Structure 1
Amino acid sequence: MFESNKRQKTKAIIENAMVQLLKQESFDHITTVQLAQAAGISRSSFYTHYKDKYDMIERYQQGLFHQLEYIFSHHQENIKTAIIEVFKFLQLEPLLAALLTENGTKEIQNFLRHKLQVMLAEDLQDRFSSRIYSQFEKEYSTVYLTNAFFGVCQIWIARGKKESPEQIADFLLKMI
């Protein structure tokens, strides 16, 4: 489906307004009125594009899920490349970065955690196949590392994404 340039620009303005609002408060506390005001548009203009803020984020997330799914499936054999690509993606997508902060949405955070957990489980099997881990130790170790990776991602965003994606990937892989 083709969208006019004006529609695309308005959606980009609304997304940017959401980024700015997420810096100040949690997604749950942001109202459609605040969003329209921050975007400099009328509420009716907002409703021309979305039913509400949840519809906006749902549509945005669906597009992101497809792109992130591609990154993870395309680089499933190389965890370092996948991590670099995700961090490059975070540099290019300010709304995604904002949604991954503590003020963001749990759905996208859980999606990314799950993908990392699957990749880490496979990678850890390869790295530590000589060690004998019980089933619960394998499960706990992947959850532990996934949350550590995610915490690093959140602090990287909060600190202004100063390090390059390659530096972050190298650091994260050192921690394994």
Structure 2
Amino acid sequence: MTKDQRRSLTKKALLDALVICLKDQDFNEITTIRLVQTAGISRSSFYTHYKDKFEMIDSYQKELFHKLEYIFDKYEGKKEGAFLEIFEILTREKLLSALLSTNGAKEIQDFLINKLQRMIAKDFIDPTAEKRALKGFEKDYASIYLAHAIFGACQAWIKNGKKESPQEMTDFLLRFIPQ
């Protein structure tokens, strides 16, 4: 096995361990010792790759931010496509689901909520916004409210074991937001 393969396996083991740890502990409470024990690696192996757990999660989140940014750009003005692709990613990505759970990292949660809020806010700016009778500050608050509601539904879906399909969740959410 090459050095790159060992490095990749160690990083994967740590990320998998984080998923396990997040099931019963808040990200800020998880220690490096618990991570390495769960991953079955030594502390020195951890520190060979990362300065601390924050650097570890930061490198993963940067990758996710780019992926999510791409999705929101790709489906600009098309909420159904964006929601569907995000739910599909959540069915595959255990760590992303764990990070979006109530025990997860606030940075990625805030990033996603902000993206949702900006996507929804655009609908309150269009000419049909007058039909909703929202004025000035109400549009801002409505988009913030809906973004948090969507995120809360996503967290509940994750917590409940993702029983509904990505399409079912997308269809459900689309009934509550402006089109």
Superposed pair shares fold, TM > 0.5 = yes
8 Å Cα contact 1:22-1:103 kept in structure 2: yes
Give a deviation string over 1:64-122, Cα, whole Å, max 9, x none: 00000000001112011001111111112111110111111110000000000010111
Note closer, same or farther for the CA distance 1:161–1:127 as it changes in structure 2 (3 Å cut). farther
Between the aligned partners of 1:112 and 1:120, the Cα distance in structure 2 is 12
8 Å Cα contact 2:123-2:129 kept in structure 1: no
Between the aligned partners of 1:168 and 1:17, the Cα distance in structure 2 is 28
Q: For 1:69, give the aligned amino acid.
A: E
Between the aligned partners of 1:112 and 1:83, the Cα distance in structure 2 is 11
Establish whether residue 167 from structure 1 lines up as the match of residue 172 from structure 2: no
Between the aligned partners of 2:119 and 2:17, the Cα distance in structure 1 is 33
SS at match of 1:175: coil
Between the aligned partners of 1:151 and 1:20, the Cα distance in structure 2 is 21
- Paired position in structure 1 for 2:129: 129
TM-score, normalization: structure 1? Answer: 0.94
Structure 2: segments with no counterpart, 5+ residues: none
Between the aligned partners of 2:75 and 2:135, the Cα distance in structure 1 is 28
8 Å Cα contact 1:19-1:94 kept in structure 2: yes
For residue 6 of structure 1, report the CA deviation from its aligned partner: 1.9
For residue 158 of structure 1, report the CA deviation from its aligned partner: 0.3
8 Å Cα contact 1:71-1:82 kept in structure 2: yes
Q: For 1:1-176, what aligned pairs fall within 5 Å after superposition?
A: 4-126=4-126, 128-131=128-131, 132-176=133-177
User: Percentage identity across aligned positions?
Assistant: 51
Note closer, same or farther for the CA distance 1:15–1:127 as it changes in structure 2 (3 Å cut). farther
Between the aligned partners of 2:139 and 2:93, the Cα distance in structure 1 is 33
For residue 127 of structure 1, report the CA deviation from its aligned partner: 8.1
Aligned length: 174
8 Å Cα contact 1:91-1:161 kept in structure 2: yes
Between the aligned partners of 1:127 and 1:29, the Cα distance in structure 2 is 47
Q: For 2:118, give the aligned amino acid.
A: V
Note closer, same or farther for the CA distance 1:153–1:119 as it changes in structure 2 (3 Å cut). same
Between the aligned partners of 1:172 and 1:107, the Cα distance in structure 2 is 23
